[in-house]
Amino acid sequence: MTTAQQSPQQNLLPPVVAALLPDDPQWDERNLLPASAAINPLPVSIPAWVHIPISGFKTVLRLYWETGLTQHLVEERKWDSDLYLVIPPDELLFEVPVIRLVQGLHEVWYELITPNGDINFSDKQPVSIDLTPPVIGSSVRPLAFDTDTITEQYLLDNGDQAVALVPSYMDFKPGDVIVWYWSDDQSSVLPGDEVASRTLLRGESQPLSLAFPGRMIVDRGDGERFAFYRLRDRAGNETSYSERVKLTVKAQPVLRQLPSPTVAEAVGSSISSRLDPYSARGGATVVIPDTAVFKPGDVIEVQWSAPGTYGEYKTGTADPTGKQFSVPPEYVPQHMGKNIPVYYRVSGNGQVVESDHHELSVQMLAGQRWPTVQCVRPGISSGRLSLASVDGYATFRLSRWMFMGVAQQVSLTLLSRGSPLPVLDRYAVIQNDIDTGYLAVDVPKADLQAIPLGALSVEVKVSFDKGTSEVLFPRLNLTLEQ
């Protein structure tokens, strides 16, 4: 068989150019070759086909590269069927010379002549080569700022950043990458000078804006600084660095001074003090010292006791012009017999800072400050309670006590020579008790009759901290008689 004829029997896949960037609908270019891949011969591999060797005949493969209307034969290879029962994959790898890798749209394909003389043509693989940077010319125009001096106040007034505009440029398209820099040198560029980079997406328009974060500006110090940028397209072609904009930076923040607060009703130093709860029966006053230094726009919140502890209190925020904060009296008794931290938080410019802590020792309230439970039904005479005068039950009443509040727990026990008789066990105070002004409990006569005659004490304990501890109120001592 010596006459070659075209045959539709082989449906040949296009050659493979592994270096091509992946296609994506968000970018304009398809089948784009990175510019870095155009400086060396371009590998092109031929997919395997159905190879049927025929003794005495050859397989011929020709790779072509087209640019516009010009077609170039890259290379022709032949394999004797007697020597190549299977064509090795490494022999199917070609290289397109660098001289062919010029700016523009190209196609690469191959021609296959099988041992039986059939001529087959592969599908074509497009290759787009872009070797032109986004900005043509030697000068990339400088960024445009709205100021030439950046201060702490400027950053506060502008969202903690300095924003610059990129002058409009030609060949603007999705996939371009812009990188911007902040340097203390007018000529050299160091890796640490880079601020950020971003890829331009479809729908963006010029002029572009670039943000120089305030934290970065402060961290890199005051003095003369230079802002600039460069552009890179999706193929990797880069412009030169732009002309540099000189800025004067005076952004180092004024340091806050946050000494510990004091409690006006307590006695002690600025670091620690003791509080008699009786002095805070109307509430406590936390005072921020005049030596505290704040920033414009700061707000203060006072923390009374550690966050998450029972009885903690946070004041509402206020500006530094008011330096006294009230703690309601209901947040005092939970801390009797304990040490608690008192401090303040300052928030401003996205930061929250704590002051030094003041250690407050809340003392136990003296016993005489608490009321003594009374027997109001029947009345008692000379400290004696007569069973004969009890008509159905006896009533014991505890008058309103200092710091009385909802959910406080009250226990009342009758103590005698016999076993203790619990009358109330961790009873939770309700609002009606507070409105009434006292807490009353009835003890059936039958329970009193079960108690040995003689000395009888009525003991009251109140817990202000959900049962963690109890405060013993003064006892009522009686003589129970027949």
Task: Return the pLDDT at 4.
Answer: 36
Residues 23 and 53 in one domain: yes
Mean of the per-residue pLDDT values of the chain: 93
Residues 406 and 352 in one domain: no
Q: Residue 112 is inside which H or E element, if any?
A: strand 104-113
Residue 382 pLDDT exceeds 90: no
The answer to the question of residue 136 being in a domain is no
* CATH number for the domain harbouring residue 180: 2.60.40
SS3 450: coil
Task: Return the pLDDT at 298.
Answer: 86
Name the phi and psi angles at 255, rounded to 5.
Answer: -75, 130
- Stronger pLDDT, 378 or 320, i.e. the higher one: 378
The answer to the question of residue 114 being in a domain is yes
Residues 107 and 161 in one domain: no
Task: Return the pLDDT at 154.
Answer: 94
The answer to the question of residue 139 being in a domain is no
Q: Read off the pLDDT of residues 263-306 as tens digits, 9 standing for 90 and up.
A: 999 999 999 999 999 999 999 999 999 999 988 778 999 999 99
Residues 116 and 169 in one domain: no
User: What are the tokens at 196?
Assistant: 């950020």
Upper half-sphere CA count for residue 103 (Cβ side, 13 Å): 5
Q: What is the Cα–Cα distance from 455 to 417, expressed in whole angstroms? A: 7
> Among all chains, which residue has been given the structure tokens 């784009």?
32
Q: Is the four-CA dihedral 306, 309, 315, 316 of positive or negative sign?
A: positive
Residues 231 and 323 in one domain: no
Q: Residue 399 is inside which H or E element, if any?
A: strand 393-399
Q: What is the Cα–Cα distance from 116 to 57, expressed in whole angstroms? A: 7
Residue 244 pLDDT exceeds 80: yes
Q: For residues 73-112, b (16+ Cβ closer than 10 Å) or e, as one string? A: ebeeeebebeeeeebeeeebebebeeebbeeeebbbbbbb
Min mean pLDDT across 2-6, 155-159, 351-355, 373-377 is at: 2-6
* Cβ 96 vs Cβ 42: under 8 Å: yes
Left, alpha or beta for 407 (phi > 0: left; psi -120 to 50: alpha)? Answer: left
Task: Return the pLDDT at 156.
Answer: 87
* Cβ 342 vs Cβ 303: under 8 Å: yes
* Cβ 253 vs Cβ 295: under 8 Å: yes
Task: Return the pLDDT at 8.
Answer: 46
Task: Return the pLDDT at 110.
Answer: 98
The answer to the question of residue 134 being in a domain is no
Last residue of a domain, one of 314, 344, 362: 362
> Confidence class of residue 379 from pLDDT cuts 50, 70 and 90?
confident
| Mean pLDDT on 412-431 | 96
Q: Read off the pLDDT of residues 75-128 as tens digits, 9 standing for 90 and up.
A: 999 999 988 888 999 999 999 999 999 999 999 999 999 999 999 999 999 999
Q: Read off the pLDDT of residues 424-473 as tens digits, 9 standing for 90 and up.
A: 999 999 999 999 999 999 999 999 999 999 999 999 999 999 999 999 99
The answer to the question of residue 143 being in a domain is no
Residues 179 and 197 in one domain: yes
> Among all chains, which residue has been given the structure tokens 């108690």?
451
Residue 6 pLDDT exceeds 50: no
Residue 9 pLDDT exceeds 70: no
The answer to the question of residue 339 being in a domain is yes
Residue 1 pLDDT exceeds 80: no
Q: Read off the pLDDT of residues 185-240 as tens digits, 9 standing for 90 and up.
A: 999 999 999 999 999 999 899 999 999 999 999 999 999 999 999 999 999 999 99
Last residue of a domain, one of 312, 327, 362: 362
Residues 54 and 123 in one domain: yes
* Cβ 254 vs Cβ 294: under 8 Å: no
> Confidence class of residue 254 from pLDDT cuts 50, 70 and 90?
confident
Percent of the chain beyond pLDDT 70? 98
Residues 280 and 338 in one domain: yes
* CATH number for the domain harbouring residue 114: 2.60.40.10
Task: Return the pLDDT at 138.
Answer: 64
Residues 382 and 357 in one domain: no
Residue 5 pLDDT exceeds 70: no
pTM of the predicted structure, to 2 decimals: 0.53
Angle at 171 (CA atoms; ends 167, 174), nearest 5 degrees: 95
**Number of compact structural domains in the chain:** 4
* Cβ 332 vs Cβ 403: under 8 Å: yes
Residues 171 and 238 in one domain: yes
Residues 101 and 123 in one domain: yes
The answer to the question of residue 194 being in a domain is yes
- Stronger pLDDT, 139 or 99, i.e. the higher one: 99
Q: What is the Cα–Cα distance from 175 to 232, expressed in whole angstroms? A: 9
Domain that holds residue 290: 262-362
* CATH number for the domain harbouring residue 449: 2.60.40.3880
β-sheet bridge partners, residue 238: 232
The answer to the question of residue 140 being in a domain is no
Omega within 30 of 0 (cis) for the link into 378: yes
Q: Read off the pLDDT of residues 349-363 as tens digits, 9 standing for 90 and up.
A: 778 999 999 999 999
Last residue of a domain, one of 250, 273, 294: 250
Residues 235 and 324 in one domain: no
